[in-house]
Amino acid sequence: MRRVEEVVVPGERERAVRLGDGPRLVVQAWLGSRVLLALVLVWTVWSTGATWQAAAGNWDVAHFLRIARDGYAAENEAAFFPGLPLLLRAVGAAGVDMTGGGIAVSVVASAFAAWALWRLGGPRTGVVAAVLWLFAPTAVFTVVPYTESIFAAFAFWAWLRAREGRWPWAAVLAAGACSVRVSGLFLLVALGVLALTGSYEGDRRWSGRVRALAWLLVPAAVPAAYATYLRVTKGSWLAWYTAQADGWGRRLTWPWDAFAHTLRAVVPGAYADHPGWAWVFRGEVVSVAVGIAVTVACLVLRRWAEATWVGVQVAAFATSYWYMSVNRAVLLWFPLWLLLGSFATRAGRGPTARLAVIAVWGLVSTMLLVWWAARFFSGQWAS
């Protein structure tokens, strides 16, 4: 019996070889990107005289650490889901520095997220997708005590298991995602679309689809439990929304008003005393545009669940007071990275040109990664 490799179309074998062994390349990219970010941290500590804990503990990290130590003492900190603070508290209880332990958790979680991306895309597309994700411009948030790595690890693996028709596992993993950030609710909506459209392996009869949908009640219980906790301790079912609105100005806003508010933050001269802020806001506008493009591409390809996953997030960001934290949310949009991987590796004419485009993307992304990491570690606003 002839082996599959013997009937590969001309040129496919060579391109596969150039991509190399998938797991090895992904591991190398994970190590390389983590070392690069560590070097930026070392350079920042050396040039500013700050401690490594201070450099890695900026912005939301301070909130997570405070919640881990003192609970939800500050009203606006109800905006943060309890999953990461509970992990940090466990690390501290074990006698480990919470900042260092949080870095270790994020670094390990980023490996699992990249592994899931490789699995989602397959041996060729997945390699490029994982590598580009590891060197994403905002990849600094995948090594510091933020929720991006942990959420991506849970959510990407939940999606993979759901696509395989292994809904009990998908439910458990989605519950983990729901424990660390509100994006878990969007994940549940997208997984629900995946279940209802039968876009998975296994039993696709309506009875099977209903059973798959029922499994999502398990992760849905996690945000419900957090809302109940806030109702008991803060006296309101809307405590999370109030914290977002009062602490970060994230109030429900008409999309045209949100766009207008963001435009005022990106024009030349905006924040003259903090010139980097305008550039970060410009990145937010680009990220929203990328999200819209990915949503449209998924709709054209009839990938309804993936379109839902990205689209509902873009809609949420576009109806806030202004575009904020979209630069970080891009890390959660696995369809984006899979589309880029597919673009680079698909058969047909012009493979060299496509790989050149991806190479340029990778170079620019890596340069932005260094710039973004330097901003974060030096205490400048970085989304």
By the 10 Å C-beta count (0-12 exposed, 13-18 middle, 19+ buried), 32 is classed as middle
Predicted pLDDT at 247: 84
- The pLDDT-based confidence of 89 (bands split at 50, 70, 90) is very high
162: region left, alpha or beta (phi > 0 left; psi from -120 to 50 alpha): alpha
- The pLDDT-based confidence of 250 (bands split at 50, 70, 90) is confident
Q: 3-class SS at 211?
A: helix
Least confident of 1-5, 35-39, 56-60, 290-294: 1-5
Predicted pLDDT at 51: 95
> Domain residue spans in the chain?
21-377
Q: How far apart are CA 261 and CA 32, in angstroms?
A: 38
Predicted pLDDT at 357: 80
Predicted pLDDT at 93: 94
Predicted pLDDT at 347: 60
The 3-state secondary structure of 322-374, one letter per residue: CCCCHHHHHHHCHHHHHHHHHHHHCCCCCHHHHHHHHHHHHHHHHHHHHHHHH
Q: Please, what is the average pLDDT of the chain?
A: 90
Query: pLDDT tens across 149-190, in order?
Result: 999 999 999 999 999 999 999 999 999 999 999 999 999 999
Predicted pLDDT at 12: 44
